[in-house]
Structure 1
Amino acid sequence: MSLLEVRGLKASYGVVPALHRVDFRAEAGEVVGILGHNGMGKTTLLRAIMGYVKVTGGEISFDGADIRGLSVNARARAGLGLVPQGREIFPNLSVEDNLMVGIATQKGDTGPIIAEILELFPRLKRLLDRRGGALSGGEQQLLALARCLCRRPKLMLLDEPTEGIQPSIIDEISDTLKVLTARQDITIVLVEQNLDFITGLSDRVYAIANGVLDSEIPRDRLTDPQAVSEFMGFAA
């Protein structure tokens, strides 16, 4: 049984359709990449899985249970975590306080969780007293990832984590996610436009175009820009 299975998913913003047909799965421990251009439905898909966008048809199964009727908070408690596009950290709180917000739902001694997170994100150790809004874009992205992981999710949904990030920190994010998936039992669904980043991390890659996702891109086609463009709904 897949950890996450999405079948025939449709979603809308009010009366405006956004997703027309989405079919994919993510097995436990996998990194699944979803490649697509702007406006193709990538963000809507993650927000629908997390519960922020109204689902009008199809199924979302997580850990063997139908989660369509659950609230965002209930999905988070079940083990879903979202790192949104734009990061959405708290700019007036310190790095440490941002992490404490992320860990607020955990019971018992949270010190070991924070220590473990800082081992994964050593750059944040020297920034604990700095306001989130004073960080660079790349540092904010690292903080957003770290804050999400404080909740110990089974499935982490990543929305365009390389957007507006300097290359050195893109490499750092990639290395951190590789370490994370090697050390912990976590599944990642990653939506991106950065082909090199997504292929370097993902076990499988899908393409989304015009709200439709039903085709996995064979790995041997990912090195062919024309083939990738066709999968994404564009002629090369």
Structure 2
Amino acid sequence: MSLLEVKGLKAAYGLVPALHQVDFNVQPGEVVGILGHNGMGKTTLLRAIMGFVKVTGGEITFEGDNLKGLAVNARARKGLGLVPQGRMIFPTLSVRENLESGIATSREPSEPIVEEILELFPRLTRLLDRAGGALSGGEQQLLALARCLCRRPKLMLLDEPTEGIQPSIIDEISDTLKTLTAKQDITIVLVEQNLDFITGLSDRVYAISNGVLDRQIPREQLTDSKAVSEFMGFAA
């Protein structure tokens, strides 16, 4: 059984359609990449799965359960976690407080969870008392990933994690995500424009254009910028 199944998904912002026909599935332990330009529906798709955007047609099932009508916090309790575009950490809270905010609904003591997550993000250890807003963009992205993991999600939805990030931290993020999928029971849906990043991490990659996701890009063609352009006009 698929961990996540999306069938005929349509979504809108008010009266404005944003997703027209989205069909894909994610198997446990997979990294599924979704590649596309800005404004093509990548962020909307993740927000619809998480419950932030109104679904107007189709269905989303997680572990066989239909998510229709479930609020965002109920989806989070089921095991979905979103790392949004722009990171959206709490700028006035310390790094430690940001991490603890990700455990607010857990019955487990926060300290062991924070220490466990910091093993994956050693760069954050020396920054625990620093305000989130004082971190660099790359450090904030690491913090956003770590905060999401504090909830122990089964499925992480990552929205443009490399946007505006220096190359050294992009490599660090990639290495951390590879470690997560190799050593922990976690599944990832990744939306990106960075072709090298998405290719290096993903088991399968789909193209999305104008709110329609209907084509999987063969892995052997992902390293060929001309072939990718033929799929979706993406400038690699």
TM-score normalised by the chain length of structure 1: 0.98
Matching residue of 1:42: 42
Q: What's the counterpart of residue 152 of structure 2?
A: 152
Q: Which residue of 2 aligns with 1:228?
A: 228
How many Å apart are 1:37 and its aligned residue? 0.5
Are 1:209 and 1:233, in contact at CA under 8 Å, matched by a contact in 2? Answer: no
- Identity across matched positions, percent: 82
Could you say if the C-alpha distance between residues 234 and 104 of structure 1 is closer, same or farther in structure 2, counting changes exceeding 3 Å? closer
Q: Matched residues in 1 for 2:232 and 2:83: separation?
A: 23
- Partner in structure 2 of residue 80 of structure 1: 80
Three-state SS of the structure 2 residue aligned to 1:152 is coil
> What SS class does the counterpart of residue 28 from structure 1 fall into?
coil
Change (3 A) 1:235 1:199: closer
Question: Which residue number in structure 2 is paired with residue 112 of structure 1?
Answer: 112
Structure-2 residue corresponding to 1:16 = 16
Seen in structure 2, the aligned counterparts of structure 1 residues 57 and 233 have a Cα distance that, compared at 3 Å, is farther
Aligned-partner SS, 1:180: helix
Q: Does 1:171 align with 2:171?
A: yes
Instruction: Tell me which amino acid in the other structure corresponds to 1:43.
Output: T
Contact 2:60 2:67 in 1 (8 A): yes
Change (3 A) 1:235 1:189: closer
CA displacement 1:52-81 (0-9 Å, x = unmatched): 000000110101100021000100000000
In 2, the alpha carbon distance for the partners of 1:230 and 1:54 equals 32
Q: Which residue of 1 aligns with 2:140?
A: 140
What code does the residue aligned with 2:194 have? N
Using the TM superposition, give the Cα deviation of residue 234 of structure 1 relative to its aligned residue in structure 2, in angstroms: 5.8
Q: Counterparts of 2:32 and 2:81 in 1: how far apart (Å)? A: 15
Tell me, yes or no, if the aligned pair for 1:229 and 1:235 is still in contact at 8 Å: yes
Name the CA distance, whole Å, in 1 between partners of 2:174 and 2:235: 29
User: Which residue does 2:59 correspond to in 1?
Assistant: 59
Please provide the CA RMSD for this pair.
Answer: 1.2
Tell me which residue corresponds to 1:202. Answer: 202
Letter matched to residue 230 of structure 1 = E
* Residue identity matched to 2:180: L
SS of equivalent residue, structure 2 residue 119: helix
Distance in 1 (alpha carbons) for counterparts of 2:29 and 2:205: 15
For 1:232 and 1:147, how far apart are their aligned partners in 2? 33
Shift of 1:233: 4.6
Distance 2:44 2:132 in 1: 26
Counterpart residue type for residue 2 of structure 1: S
Q: Tell me, which stretches of 5 or more residues in structure 2 are unaligned?
A: none
Q: Specify every segment of 5 or more residues in structure 1 that has no aligned partner in the other structure, as ranges.
A: none
Q: 1:174, CA displacement in angstroms?
A: 0.2
Q: The residue matched to 1:130 in structure 2 has which SS?
A: coil
Using structure 2 for the length normalisation, give the TM-score: 0.98
Q: Distance in 2 between matches of 1:87 and 1:39?
A: 18
Does 2:186 correspond to 1:186?
Answer: yes
**Structure-1 separation of matches of 2:149 and 2:96:** 14
- 1:157-198 deviation line (CA, Å, top 9, x unaligned): 000000000000000000000011111100000000000000
Q: CA deviation at 1:110?
A: 2.7
2:56 counterpart SS class: strand
Q: Separation in 2 of the partners of 1:232 and 1:95?
A: 39
Letter in 1 for 2:64: G
Distance in 2 (CA, whole Å) between partners of 1:34 and 1:121 is 25
